[in-house]
């Protein structure tokens, strides 16, 4: 278990009322000037709402998923047995549709969720994730305790899928969980990334190298390919050799930004769950617009935000939009393959995302 140096003071994390300072005064919730999850201009009138982070089942036997294409950020890491899990983050609860299948929490995802101060939604947890959530007195929506009040069991799907692949959620069910646990939906948070100013032109990776097809493996079990489409300026995700589809929206998952990071990954003493070295961070690549640059990354303590820098240690700006962040073990770096140069497409009428 990581030793954590301080507790979060974000509103809504540790009590049923407003978070209070040592002087017993309520914490002032800052009004954000832009969307802290995508970097875009804020939509709507309330700019103090906390985002929502939901754990998604990503085994081969859990496909297809529902509602994942609506996520503003998706984090993917290996959990145990080579299987990965996704954490789908939504800036606005109302952007969630039918979402799932929902699965259990893991501490590597908790560490990316904490600085976002997200409302954390999952069903069950590993002992390591549970210890971390308890350490931070973090209120969460756990289906292990809330059951059908916050999650829906798909009886039809259960006829052909295992029990654990059949749990879903949606905004009203999440609201039930918020009410049942007394979670404060307003609070302070760090920006997910060091975003470029949405009012200015996107940052171009002029010194970057071309790559329109990027493939890599999380494990012997799980593989991913990202294909850049110049017509849409997005990266389309495939996994297990087929397009990664959202069945609810009937679209392939796509992203404006793609971060491929690596670090030391070992097994916890239980010999099953994976432990990621967030303290030291590691190396990686930032992909945008069909180009990439090498980067360094670090997080430090679980409550600290993700920092992306160039090789000289200078922070880099991430363009606004949806992001996919994959963290792989150091030994999986050798599986990374990149190819292709950006093709300019004049007539986009027939352009389709590549598998």
Mean pLDDT of 294-310: 96
**Given this chain, do its domains 52-181 and 209-339 carry the same CATH topology?**
yes
Looking at residues 308-330, what average pLDDT do you find? 97
CB 181 within 8 A of CB 133: no
Q: Please determine, for residue 53, whether its predicted confidence score (pLDDT) is greater than 70.
A: yes
* CA 51 from centre of chain: 11
Comparing 57-66, 145-154, 296-305, 341-350, the range with the smallest average pLDDT is: 341-350
Among the listed ranges 77-81, 222-226, 252-256, 346-350, which one has the minimum average pLDDT value?
346-350
pLDDT tens digits for 16-35? 334 443 444 455 778 888 99
Contact 91, 36 (CB under 8 A): yes
What six digits make up the tokens of 176? 């039930």
Give the residue-averaged pLDDT of 86-105. 96
For the chain, the first-to-last Cα distance in angstroms comes to 40
pLDDT of 347 > 70? The answer is no
The predicted model gives 97-112 an average pLDDT of 97
Classify residue 128 by its DSSP letter.
Answer: H
Share of the chain above pLDDT 90, in %: 83
Distance of CA 265 to the CA centre of its chain: 18
Pairing of strands 291-298, 209-210: antiparallel
H/E segment holding residue 171: helix 171-181
Q: What is the DSSP string of 272-291?
A: SSEEE-TTT-EEEEEEETTE
Measured CA to CA, the distance from residue 60 to residue 241 in angstroms comes to 11
Quickly state the pLDDT bin for 46 (edges 50, 70, 90).
confident
Query: Residue 327: phi, psi to the nearest 5?
Result: -120, 120
CA 284/CA 327 separation, integer angstroms: 9
pTM of the model: 0.90
Question: Which pair of tokens denotes residue 267?
Answer: 């097994």
Ramachandran region, residue 141 (left: φ > 0; alpha: ψ -120 to 50; beta: rest): beta
Which one, of 305, 295, 263, lies nearest residue 281 by Cα? 263
pLDDT at 29: 79
In the predicted structure, residue 355 carries a pLDDT above the cut 60: no
| Secondary structure of residue 24 in the 3-state scheme | coil
Tell whether the torsion through CA atoms of 75, 77, 79 and 83 is positive or negative.
positive
pLDDT in tens, 155-202: 999 999 999 999 999 999 999 999 999 999 999 999 999 999 999 999
CB count within 10 Å of CB 40 equals 17
What are the contacts of 351-354 at 24+ separation with CB within 8 A? 351/229, 351/231, 351/232, 353/227, 353/229, 353/232, 353/234, 353/236, 353/243, 353/252, 353/254, 354/227, 354/229, 354/236
> 113, 111, 62: which is closest to 90 by C-alpha?
113
Per-residue confidence band for 6, with pLDDT thresholds at 50, 70 and 90: very low
Q: Which residues contact 179 (CB under 8 A, 6 or more apart)?
A: none
Neighbour tally for 326: CB within 10 Å: 23
> At 342, is the pLDDT very low, low, confident or very high (cuts 50, 70, 90)?
low
Q: CA 92, CA 94: separation in Å to the nearest integer?
A: 5
Q: What is the CATH number of domain 209-339?
A: 3.50.90.10
Q: Does domain 52-181 have CATH number 3.30.230.10?
A: no
Cβ atoms 141, 177 nearer than 8 A: yes
Average pLDDT over residues 36-62: 92
Sequence ranges of the domains in the chain: 52-181, 209-339
Judge whether residue 206 has pLDDT over 70: yes
Instruction: State the average pLDDT for the chain.
Output: 89
Half-sphere exposure of 294 (CA within 13 A, CB side): 6
């Amino acid at each position: 278990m990581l030793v954590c140096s301080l507790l979060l003071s974000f509103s809504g994390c540790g009590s049923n009322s407003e978070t209070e300072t040592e002087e017993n005064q309520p914490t002032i919730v800052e009004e954000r000037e832009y969307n802290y999850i995508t970097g875009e201009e804020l939509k709507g009138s309330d700019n103090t709402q906390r985002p929502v982070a939901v754990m998604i089942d990503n085994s081969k036997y859990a496909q297809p998923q529902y509602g994942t294409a609506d996520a503003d950020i998706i984090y993917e890491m290996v959990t145990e047995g080579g299987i990965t899990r996704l954490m789908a983050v939504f800036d606005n609860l109302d952007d969630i549709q039918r979402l799932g299948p929902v699965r259990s929490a893991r501490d590597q995802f908790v560490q990316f969720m904490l600085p976002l101060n997200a409302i954390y939604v999952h069903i069950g947890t590993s002992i390591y994730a549970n210890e971390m959530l308890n350490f931070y007195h973090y209120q969460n929506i756990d289906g292990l305790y809330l059951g059908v009040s916050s999650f829906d069991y798909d009886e039809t799907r259960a006829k052909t899928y295992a029990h654990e692949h059949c749990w879903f959620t949606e905004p009203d069910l999440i609201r039930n969980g918020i009410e049942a646990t007394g979670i404060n939906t307003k609070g302070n948070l760090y920006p997910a990334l060091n975003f470029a100013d949405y009012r200015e032109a996107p940052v171009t990776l002029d010194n970057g190298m071309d790559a329109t097809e990027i493939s890599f493996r999380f494990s012997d079990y799980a593989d991913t390919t990202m294909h850049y489409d110049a017509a849409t300026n997005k990266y389309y995700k495939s996994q297990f050799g087929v397009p990664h589809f959202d069945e609810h929206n009937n679209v392939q998952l796509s992203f404006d930004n793609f971060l491929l990071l690596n670090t030391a990954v070992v097994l916890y003493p239980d010999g099953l769950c994976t432990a990621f070295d967030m303290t030291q961070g590691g190396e990686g690549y930032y992909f945008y617009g069909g180009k990439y640059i090498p980067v360094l990354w670090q997080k430090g303590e679980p409550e600290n935000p993700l920092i992306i820098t160039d090789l000289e240690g200078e922070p880099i700006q991430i363009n606004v939009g949806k992001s996919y962040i994959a963290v792989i073990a150091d030994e999986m770096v050798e599986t990374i393959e990149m190819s292709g140069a950006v093709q300019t497409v004049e007539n986009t009428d027939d352009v389709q995302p590549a598998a």
